[in-house]
Structure 1
Amino acid sequence: MASDGGAFSQPIGPAERIDAIDVLRGVALLGVMAINVVTEFRVSIFDQFLAREPTGSPIDHAVEAILTLAVEMKALALFSLLFGAGLAIQFERLANSGRRTSLLLRRLTVLLAFGLIHLCLIWNGDILTEYALAGLIVLPFLFGPRWLLAFSALAFLALYLAMQAFPPAGLFPSTATITQHVADATRVYATGGFLDVLAFRLRELPLFVPLHAFIFPRTIGLFLLGAFAWRTGILQSGPQHLLSIAAPCIGLGALLILSGADALGTILLALGYGAAIVGIANLEGGKKLLAWAAPLGRMAFTNYLMQSVIFGWIFYGYGLGLFGRLSVVSALAIGAAVYIGQVVFSAWWLRRYRYGPIEWLWRTLMYGVPQPMSLSKVEAMR
């Protein structure tokens, strides 16, 4: 492969990966899946903004409450931290390459293209577009010192918290608009064909803009915080140190959420989850306990997109049309079955190939040269 900078311009190989971070990414994907399938594929995402009498069984209410308190937004915050750390790792590995900036810009631009395709053609709950845009904003900060990463992270997170406390006037649509939209979504997503669903998905995109605008500063702040955690060596710390960080973050985060300070509590809880999982994954027993999640995490991009395709077919009218018809527990059970299937598939795939299919395509487009895919061929070249 042509490169300038030798090995530093090559994509990272399986042996060079940090297993604990892959484990964390795989576990975080479980949380993202659970929230997506319950609140965005089962029903309209805007349904949660309407004051309604609770429906479903007591078990449904209990499961939904647990997801809201312990998982919702926390899993996505974990992914944001991981994306920032991953960007910092790429930045560091390309330090000796004259193409570092252009390669990282291409990486984020390709991600933006994937995100827009996913957003428009598959599912408008996409987060990839936001991540690509946030990554482009964060990239210049990586050229600065660690204190700049820390200060900037705190500044963006403070802006996010201020927006939570004092929401900008007129940012969100009226209750009447949301009510009508939820009714339309229930009808179209449950019964419409692919073109009907596609047309409605594009029409409702303007309603998603305020949701993304509301959390965009948090995404940037968490990217910067993830980069800071990598650059300072926190993520590479010993398990005891990480677990000592996790305990107070989880405790204080849970206390803040229970007291109503959800925005700050979510950030602290995500930090605590991340430190705890990485710490456990670095323990001898923890490596065995969580080893199943590493292949899933290495293929998180592929698995995330495949979840959208599978759930779209299950819940939308061009497939089984189960939108609006399932309980929380039933939808979560379907999601768990898909996730378990992905755990098995990811392990099987990575015994044969270096990357997941979408990861391979992303790297190939980033470097501009087809990447070696088969493990047997790579071994034969050595």
Structure 2
Amino acid sequence: MRSDSLAAPTPSSDRIDAIDVLRGIALFGVMAINVVMEFRVSIFDQFLGPETLASPIDRAVEMILTQAIELKAFALFSLLFGAGLAIQFDRLAKSGRRTALLLRRLAVLLGFGIIHLCLIWNGDILTEYALAGFIMLPLLFGPRWLIALVALVSLALYLVMQDFPPEGLFPSRAVIWRDVTDANRIYATGGFLDVLAFRLRELPLVASLHAFVFLRTIGLFLLGALAWRSGLVQNTRGLFVIAFPAITLGAALLYGGMEPLGTIVLALGYGAAILGIANFARGKRLLGWAAPLGRMAFTNYVAQSIVFGWIFYGYGLGLFGRLGITEAVAIGIAVYIAQVLFSAWWLRRYRYGPLEWLWRSLMYGARQPMAVGKAAAV
């Protein structure tokens, strides 16, 4: 058998269900923050000062989102992406095409990200993930100590940037104010072409936000890879040894005013706790509903952008700027529940989500079978 014949997608039976569960749960946090802070209002609105909330319920929901979920969900997603890339790297070890396949995988993701960023929603994270993946990939050939060192250096530099941001990285308050003013008008009432033109005009501002967190993304990618390489992902006892101290320390750092570091530590604690629970048989039954959603996270993430764009922008229902936080979260939960049900239904019939299938087919250069039970093309 040629080594290339081993270069095929991971069979469903070989997937690590706990990782899919964690990815599905993390997607809820990403969705909640996106719908409240980036679809309901301009993402730059937060830089002009705190929103005035008349409703006590809105204030309570906002506190939960900002303290318990906000950047922690995105950090979890970054950890999972890094672990996923490391898993593929190791499973393709006997293939002579490993590097070419993974470079193609990241290039295809970059293409998807640019399409998503420009045509659907400029809050996209796929582009940033692809670029960070290109930086991470060579390090996977190195030893664990090198991965750990680069991860720590990347995160340390990110934390230093919090107090000493590079000059000129962020736009002035006047520029942000003009952008938010235009967003309130165009996103709420503009047609598709109006929204598209404004979305493209915002890209330099959006790029500054990605530049500010790019080192954190790389560091978390590498921590995710390290968790896989060290065997921690499936070490239930080790996960619980990490989980509760990390959650406690992360919460203490947050309330002690060290939010950037606290966010990272708390995300590590969340991830370890959920993975640990999902490794138990009873935990699988409790959290198993999230696994199909996690297996189709790519499709569901992009689908959320399309649905929320139609709900909030002027070419759809035009609810931008008109809803409170609680109302927006309720809409997000309804969409999320629909995706949970749809993902379970879809994966009973097909091996991959629609975008996952397309991504794999382009990566391997061969049409992958969709129906459950068929062998993959190689």
TM category (shorter chain) comes to over 0.9
Aligned to 1:165: 163
Which region of structure 1 is more displaced relative to structure 2, 170-179 or 307-316? 170-179
Which of the numbers 244, 247, 261 marks the counterpart of 1:250?
Answer: 247
**TM-score, structure 2 normalization:** 0.98
Q: 1:187 aligns with which of 185, 188, 193?
A: 185
Please state whether the residue corresponding to 2:232 is helix, strand or coil: coil
Are 1:295 and 1:343, in contact at CA under 8 Å, matched by a contact in 2?
Answer: yes
Aligned to 2:353: 356
Aligned to 1:340: 337
Match of 2:222 among 215, 221, 224: 224
Q: Contact 1:120 / 1:202 at 8 angstroms: preserved in 2?
A: yes
User: After the TM superposition, which residues 197-346 of structure 1 pair with which residues of structure 2 at under 5 Å, given as runs?
Assistant: 197-238=195-236, 240-346=237-343
For the residues of structure 2 that align with 1:36 and 1:167, how far apart are their CA atoms?
Answer: 24
Cα distance, 1:66 vs structure 2: 1.1
Letter in 2 for 1:144: G
* Aligned residue number for residue 369 of structure 1: 366
Contact 1:64–1:328, Cα closer than 8 Å, also in 2: yes
Q: CA deviation at 1:376?
A: 4.5
Alignment partner of 1:101 out of 92, 99, 119:
99
Q: Which moved more, 1:168-177 or 1:355-364?
A: 168-177
- Equivalent residue letter for 2:292: P
- CA positional deviation for 1:236: 1.5
Equivalence for 2:148: 150
In the alignment of these two chains, the number of paired residues is 377
Supply the RMSD in Å over aligned alpha carbons.
1.3
- Aligned-residue identity in percent: 72
Report if aligned partners of 2:234, 2:279 keep a CA contact under 8 Å in 1: no
In structure 2, distance between residues paired with 1:228 and 1:53: 39
How far is the alpha carbon of 1:225 from its aligned partner?
Answer: 0.7
Asked if 2 retains the 8 angstrom alpha-carbon contact of 1:124 and 1:201, the reply is yes
Q: 1:120 is matched with which residue: 95, 118, 121?
A: 118
Gaps of 5+ in 1: none
Partner of 2:10: 12
Which residue of 47, 62, 65 corresponds with 2:63? 65
TM-score (normalizing by structure 1)? 0.97
Secondary structure in 1 aligned to 2:233?
coil
Contact persistence 2:121–2:309 (CA under 8 A): yes
User: How many angstroms does 1:229 deviate by?
Assistant: 0.6
**SS of match in other structure, 1:63:** helix
Secondary structure in 2 aligned to 1:235? helix
Alpha-carbon distance in structure 1 between the residues aligned to 2:29 and 2:290: 13
1:210: how far off? 1.2
How far the C-alpha of 1:378 sits from its partner, in A, is: 4.4
Instruction: Tell me, yes or no, if the aligned pair for 1:83 and 1:223 is still in contact at 8 Å.
Output: yes
